[in-house]
Amino acid sequence: MTVAVVMGVSGSGKTTIAKDLAKALGARFLEGDDLHPPANVEKMSRGTPLDDADRLPWLKRIAQQIDAWRLRGEAGVVTCSALKRSYRDMLIGDRPDVVLVYLRGSRELIQKRMAARHAHFMPVALLDSQFATLQEPTPDERPVIVDVGGTPAEIVAAIVAELKIRAG
């Protein structure tokens, strides 16, 4: 594994888990949301879901960062909601050294977590649109799937254990 893409709906714990995972793996960390154009952040802050046209430049920027890490032989962990298969195809595609980590959780648990967050641009009101858009990864995408009901340490340990099994 060179790069892990940590995906899930807003509030699933992507940032927390990805930071801890990067530390555990000795990898670079990138918050994918930091690559959103200001217009996207403004749109989401107003409670308006992004459409595919909004997401395209953002996804391209994340894919460019993934390729830069790979070119330099650096390990990296990046967050990205990656809710649709077509988005994941852009980020992972035919890159065998990029692994998808899907943080799966119930709407109820994630809504509770989002309600407890402060100073985040994504309002709880957009959670329904996130779940409506979500296309869960299929086996052919070779995802590492973890339930977000545990503690961050438990979740990261489960991911690291699965990555070790896959590495042989």
Q: Which amino acid is at 140?
A: D
Per-residue pLDDT tens digits for 64-96: 999 999 999 999 999 999 999 999 999 999 999
> Which residue segment(s) compose the domain that 38 sits in?
3-167
- Residue 165 pLDDT > 50, yes or no? yes
Question: In whole numbers, what is the pLDDT of the chain averaged over residues?
Answer: 91
Neighbouring residues of 45: CB distance < 8 A, sequence distance ≥ 6: 121, 123
Number of domains in the chain: 1
Residue 72 corresponds to which tokens in the numbers above? 């330099």
CATH number at residue 134: 3.40.50.300
- Residue 28 pLDDT > 70, yes or no? yes
- Residue 166 pLDDT > 80, yes or no? yes
Confidence label for 143 from pLDDT (cuts 50, 70 and 90): very high
Query: Which residues, listed in sequence order, are joined to residue 90 by a DSSP beta bridge?
Result: none
The confidence score (pLDDT) of residue 80 equals: 97
Sheet strand arrangement including 144-147: 28-30, 76-79, 3-7, 98-104, 144-147
